[in-house]
Amino acid sequence: MMLRLYHSPMACSLAARLALAASELDHEIRFVRIAAGENRSDEYLAINPMGQVPALVTPDGTLTEVIAILGYIADMAPEKRLLPEAGTYERALACSRLSYLSATVHAAYRPVVRPRPGCDNDAALEAARDHLNATLTHLDRMMAGRPFVLDDFSLCDLLLLVLLGWRRAPALHGHLIELPELDRFQSRMLAEGNRAEVISEEMAMLFGASGAGTEPEGISPGGEK
């Protein structure tokens, strides 16, 4: 049985899509349009009752949560060295970095891109933008002089690449500070393989060929994880 990934364009689940490509494991991608409510359909809720992406159907059952899925993919393709070996300090450090990206950096986008009712006034949005800029500044400093999140390429880099792509959300235009280290990292990562083409394809799925439109459906912690 091949692996089947349920994924919404430009959501955090894109990291799992890129990871599967890097692993060369036999797999297929099924798109779930959050903006169209497909994640709340009976069909999808039978796969993931939480109605979130990603969900990875494996021969042994269905996995949810992007960090768990990335770990599974790495373990199923050990020869690719997508994460450090299990049971080592380096693997624990990788899990720490993945958790930081998922729980801290990911969450910092939500109040700006898709604020909750009552939190969309100017003061709240300004505070949210300040928090996001502070979070990204810390990340920029952490990446200073480093080609990768860890010492070598890992799935941590793919998750970071996805999160940096969210800076293109219309709500952030003109509000982000300069992040030279993250810009360099993003450029290097996009120059390898077909990552740039995959991301362009998914951006087109969200915005249309013109690149204009409403907020990306994938940039929403409420519909993914």
| 120-162 pLDDT per residue, tens | 788 999 999 999 999 999 999 999 999 999 999 999 999 999 9
Q: Which pLDDT value is given to residue 114?
A: 82
Asked if residues 225 and 102 have their Cβ atoms less than 8 Å apart, the reply is yes
Phi, psi dihedral angles at 151 (to 5 degrees): -70, -30
Asked if residues 45 and 51 have their Cβ atoms less than 8 Å apart, the reply is yes
Q: What percent of the chain has pLDDT over 70?
A: 92
Q: What is the pTM of this model?
A: 0.91
Map out the domains of the chain with their CATH numbers.
3-80 (3.40.30.10), 89-211 (1.20.1050.10)
Q: Which helix (H) or strand (E) element contains residue 201?
A: helix 195-207
Confidence of residue 117 (pLDDT cuts 50, 70, 90): confident
Q: What is the average pLDDT score of the chain?
A: 91
Smallest Cα–Cα separation from 98: which of 82, 115, 80? 82
Span of 102-111, 184-193, 205-214 with lowest mean pLDDT: 205-214
